[in-house]
Structure 1
Amino acid sequence: MAILAKNKIKIFKKPKSLPFKNSEIIDWFNDILLINSIAGVQLNIIFVTLPEIQNMNRKFRKKDKPTDVITFSMVEGKFTQYSYDMLGDIYVCPDFIKAKDSKSVLRRLIHGLLHLLGNDHKGESDLKKFIILEEKYLKLIKLD
């Protein structure tokens, strides 16, 4: 039996008002990575304010408005186990989501992780597949 390398998931600035612990987020992400046969990677989850996410959106996406999540991948295209150690960063803005429950915020975190794994939703069929994956992982962690 193969031994999988441990993932390094770091969480920064999580608001105390969110109803889940850092350790829960890390466990959920590890479960999703394991299902995708991914181990030994690093990623950062950074919680930001509305002004911070708007500044990032303006600077990197040329959209001068806040958004829910921005992902910066260190991987080009679909992730393969041997391509990189560092997957990237997920910036999420709970205030934009306007919900403090774990399902709404976690859905956006999963959304960011799916982008780090190389998934996209540029067309309608891609968006449907993306939503199916989000639902699959919410069910996995029993937040459907």
Structure 2
Amino acid sequence: MTTLAKNKIRIFNRPKFVTLRNSDIINWISDVLLINSITGVRVNIIFVTIGEMKAMNRKYRGKDKPTDVITFSMVEGKFTQYSNDMLGDIYVCADFIKSKNKKEILRRVIHGLLHLLGNDHKGEKELVKFISLEDKFLKLIKTN
């Protein structure tokens, strides 16, 4: 019998930008990884202020404005084999989550995770496919 390596997901939510239980967010990420047959990876979710996000966007993307999500992948390539490794960091700007409801937070987290898994949305066609993927996972994941 084969045992699947467990994913390690850490949440950095200071000072409580998002009022959800960390376990909810961890379960969502775990579900998306499981649906994609990915095990044994580490992912960090970091909630930041609009000022922190603007500084990161300027430094790493050359854009002098805040954005909702920035990811830093520790592996490259859409079909890379994930094995007991750091997948990456997902930075979410809490100020962009207007209503702070579960679905809106989940969409931002899924957005970041899809980037870590090698998906992108540079053109209009890619954006439509990307949003379709987000919607697919939103429907599959239980948020109760």
Superposition TM-score, scaled by structure 1 size: 0.90
Give the aligned partner of residue 131 of structure 2: 131
Cα 1:35/1:98, change in 2 over 3 Å? same
In structure 1, C-alpha distance between the alignment counterparts of 2:17 and 2:51, rounded to whole Å? 19
In structure 2, C-alpha distance between the alignment counterparts of 1:42 and 1:80, rounded to whole Å? 15
What is the number of equivalent residue pairs in this alignment? 143
Structure with the larger RCO, 1 or 2 (CA within 8 Å, 6+ apart) = 2
> 3-state SS of the aligned residue for 2:66?
coil
In structure 1, C-alpha distance between the alignment counterparts of 2:5 and 2:83, rounded to whole Å? 15
Percent identity over paired residues: 72
In structure 1, C-alpha distance between the alignment counterparts of 2:15 and 2:111, rounded to whole Å? 19
In structure 2, C-alpha distance between the alignment counterparts of 1:7 and 1:105, rounded to whole Å? 20
**What residue identity is the alignment partner of 1:129?**
K
In structure 1, C-alpha distance between the alignment counterparts of 2:119 and 2:84, rounded to whole Å? 16
Note the C-alpha offset of 1:79: 4.3
Give the aligned partner of residue 85 of structure 2: 85
The answer on whether the counterparts of 2:17 and 2:48 sit within 8 Å (CA) in structure 1 is no
1:73 aligns with 2:49: no
The answer on whether the counterparts of 1:68 and 1:108 sit within 8 Å (CA) in structure 2 is yes
The answer on whether the counterparts of 1:69 and 1:112 sit within 8 Å (CA) in structure 2 is yes
1:110-132 Cα distance to aligned partner (Å, 9 max, x none): 00000000001112222121111
Q: Tell me the C-alpha RMSD between the 2 structures.
A: 1.8
In structure 2, C-alpha distance between the alignment counterparts of 1:97 and 1:7, rounded to whole Å? 26
1:64 aligns with 2:48: no
1:4-59 Cα distance to aligned partner (Å, 9 max, x none): 10001000025546342111111111111011110000010000001100000010
Cα 1:137/1:115, change in 2 over 3 Å? same
Give the aligned partner of residue 99 of structure 2: 99
In structure 2, C-alpha distance between the alignment counterparts of 1:48 and 1:12, rounded to whole Å? 9
4+ residue runs over 4 A deviation: none
Moved more, 96-105 or 9-18: 9-18
